[in-house]
Structure 1
């Protein structure tokens, strides 16, 4: 173990099964869907109302505005009802309930946290700080989503987490998002779509175009193409897939942060939004954007993606471009270096890489800066979040995997002006799983997706064996001294 002292706070963020959302629960077979609808339509109005009231008594107190959710699910099956007069609201709600189900977001785990300063520091005591923590919540089917917590670091270093609401709410998915043509074309080219079909769809569109405009252009090309063969169908399907993978979310400002849930939306993340690494990025002009890299997973393949927000109310979710957009663990530096953006990554599932770009959306030409060295990291290494700027250099919290698939947390120091240069590296783990931290869904793991500084201390939130999360505090001067003494 490292000689650096670590204070583990008496804080545990545990999964809570009672935090549930309502999701569509619609059978895939048309005949089963038709049978369910027939049973609902066979009831008279009084019977339908009685059944609905029983449902509302049992479930309404568990959700914000349950009736709006049920009506939205009714709309998903309404086209299957033929030859019926307009149904009453009671009947619509009952049908919506038949095609709905509760989903417990964090029934399996609440882990892999990252932490950033809150954009609103009003009312915080001098010397204190309000923070936002993102967490990976995992429920039934191992589907992951992003949850948030807020808390306060007191001037003297005590940490408290604000009470968590029992309610959770999904955002509005903006129905007609906008896209940048240059980025869209770049991604199409990476996907291999450079022919006449791509040109026919994209050329009439403006530099900023909407989903509706894209759909209209695709419909025009489909109409005008005399022989709509498999090549055109595949191209148009991929254009729409790319559009659906870039979307916008809006939350009501009335919702507490703990009530806001980012749940999978696009086809490439149907099995989860994993390991968001949030960072507070400061541009050269002083403007602030919160970015998060995360891993989209569809059950077969992974795809790194990017989230942008300034207020944690409106979020843009974007695909990333470039040959280096692969594997897990991309982590953005919190400012430009020499006028360029910088990113850590793990291209080969073994070593730690760095890359530079003129855009936060396009990444290529990675270079190795760190390889496994000690036995505790001899299987593979990676980052535990975005680098942290200190007077001594860029502090990178790392993770290493060693014998028996044990995950430990380490630390590395990179040169401030040239972060390709490693100037310090702990030989022993900074944090290893101990006691109850060893037991969980994946045993013997401590892992983080992002730390932050508060005065002279490093605040390190970390997951315990893919089950729950905790927080540790480390004296920054001790850690930097150990890193500088260790050499590269």
Structure 2
């Protein structure tokens, strides 16, 4: 049973999104969390923006004024020999990233049919603190007991941590600050308590030694996290041998918790696979994809801001099909309907 990409893909493009200010341009609208609210499908988009430059002789850097909460623009000379401008996404100094050339915020999009979306004009969540000064990215939405909890990556010069917010209506949002300190990202919450505890999939990033791999943590109250345990790691020469991390919020099935995750190979080609976790002990891996169920093949997945990428932050289970919303080429949003049988066919027990 094949994966069915929507004929309308991409369902959200950068030109569907109004910039947050007139001197900015939208570079991408992608990596959205997904939820159902009433009779609407909600996408919480990552919107990446950059200041509009009128000269190739300068590089414009968006920055958060931590005192006023406003975004200011710093102008650098493109000929400044202190900096490396070779990657258009960031500015480096002595081999270290010191500035980003764009800034991301989160924006709500709404749909009655799950395919045709209207993007709101104003940001829902905008960088607000020093630990979000470089932007907030890649949200995941988990509905727990009538509330929607949003985990997102918070970027700053201190690294990437994980922010937590909540909403009941996708119009008013309450922030809870950082739930996990840098360096961590790709965090999503399970949609119910298990044996009296809440669980989260995490992706810490060690720098001294080790690799960015998937872990699991637990909490009594969704705010205080501990008992961090290794879950699963990279597989050499595999589709997930280069990088990996959580994707969509886990869904309960008869076979176990099904968590979609992304993996990249040594050539930075991002695909989507799945892992099946024990219902009573989600730290136990039952099976894992030996091959991706979705690979970058369509034009909008292969070509874009960063080509060769499919990356999901949100999926909704409907009977025996998962509707997965995913960022394509770090630029646009797409949707695909994936029969559970196709996902089951990729799974195999992990070798000891």
Task: State the TM bucket, normalised to the shorter chain.
Answer: 0.7 to 0.9
Out of 299, 305, 323, the residue aligned to residue 163 of structure 2 is 305
The 5 Å alignment of 1:327-338 reads 327-338=184-195
Out of 461, 467, 470, the residue aligned to residue 325 of structure 2 is 461
CA contact 1:275–1:295 (8 Å) conserved in 2: yes
* Mapped partners of 2:179, 2:247: distance in 1: 23
Out of 164, 170, 173, the residue aligned to residue 315 of structure 1 is 173
**1:460 Cα deviation from its structure 2 partner:** 0.5
CA contact 1:325–1:363 (8 Å) conserved in 2: no
* Mapped partners of 1:161, 1:459: distance in 2: 14
Q: Kindly tell me: are residues 455 and 444 of structure 1, through their superposed partners in 2, closer, same or farther at Cα, counting changes over 3 Å?
A: same
| Matched positions, count | 291
The question of 1:293 aligning with 2:151 is answered yes
1:383 alignment counterpart: 246
The question of 1:134 aligning with 2:36 is answered no
Superposition RMSD on alpha carbons, in Å?
A: 2.0
CA contact 1:133–1:150 (8 Å) conserved in 2: yes
What SS class does the counterpart of residue 403 from structure 1 fall into? Answer: coil
What SS class does the counterpart of residue 346 from structure 1 fall into? Answer: strand
1:111 alignment counterpart: 30
2:232 alignment counterpart: 370
What SS class does the counterpart of residue 343 from structure 2 fall into? Answer: helix
Structure 1 stretches lacking a partner, 5+ long: 23-100, 122-129, 154-158, 170-259, 283-287
**1:481 Cα deviation from its structure 2 partner:** 5.2
What SS class does the counterpart of residue 268 from structure 1 fall into? Answer: helix
Larger radius of gyration: 1
Could you give the per-residue CA deviations for residues 131-174 of structure 1, whole angstroms, max 9, x where no partner exists?
11111000103100111212234xxxxx4324446xx23xxxxx
1:36 alignment counterpart: none
Q: Kindly tell me: are residues 18 and 5 of structure 1, through their superposed partners in 2, closer, same or farther at Cα, counting changes over 3 Å?
A: closer
What SS class does the counterpart of residue 329 from structure 1 fall into? Answer: strand
The question of 1:352 aligning with 2:209 is answered no
CA contact 2:243–2:265 (8 Å) conserved in 1: yes
Bigger drift between 298-307 and 383-392 goes to 298-307
Q: Kindly tell me: are residues 17 and 310 of structure 1, through their superposed partners in 2, closer, same or farther at Cα, counting changes over 3 Å?
A: closer
* Mapped partners of 2:134, 2:152: distance in 1: 13
Structure 2 stretches lacking a partner, 5+ long: 51-100, 206-210
2:263 alignment counterpart: 400
Query: Which consecutive aligned stretches of 4+ in structure 1 deviate over 6 angstroms post-superposition?
Result: none
1:26 alignment counterpart: none
**1:261 Cα deviation from its structure 2 partner:** 3.3
Q: Kindly tell me: are residues 304 and 164 of structure 1, through their superposed partners in 2, closer, same or farther at Cα, counting changes over 3 Å?
A: closer
Could you give the per-residue CA deviations for residues 214-238 of structure 1, whole angstroms, max 9, x where no partner exists?
xxxxxxxxxxxxxxxxxxxxxxxxx
What SS class does the counterpart of residue 303 from structure 1 fall into? Answer: strand
Q: Greater share of helix residues, 1 or 2?
A: 1
* Mapped partners of 2:281, 2:119: distance in 1: 42
Out of 150, 153, 159, the residue aligned to residue 110 of structure 2 is 150
CA contact 1:113–1:133 (8 Å) conserved in 2: yes
What SS class does the counterpart of residue 434 from structure 1 fall into? Answer: coil
Q: Kindly tell me: are residues 365 and 8 of structure 1, through their superposed partners in 2, closer, same or farther at Cα, counting changes over 3 Å?
A: same
Structure-1-length-normalised TM-score = 0.57
2:14 alignment counterpart: 15
CA contact 2:133–2:156 (8 Å) conserved in 1: yes
What SS class does the counterpart of residue 16 from structure 1 fall into? Answer: helix
The question of 1:6 aligning with 2:35 is answered no
* Mapped partners of 1:418, 1:305: distance in 2: 25
CA contact 1:344–1:352 (8 Å) conserved in 2: yes
1:126 alignment counterpart: none
2:198 alignment counterpart: 341
**1:387 Cα deviation from its structure 2 partner:** 0.8
* Mapped partners of 2:329, 2:187: distance in 1: 21
* Mapped partners of 1:454, 1:487: distance in 2: 25
CA contact 2:107–2:119 (8 Å) conserved in 1: no
Q: Kindly tell me: are residues 264 and 476 of structure 1, through their superposed partners in 2, closer, same or farther at Cα, counting changes over 3 Å?
A: same
CA contact 2:159–2:182 (8 Å) conserved in 1: no
Q: Kindly tell me: are residues 261 and 102 of structure 1, through their superposed partners in 2, closer, same or farther at Cα, counting changes over 3 Å?
A: farther
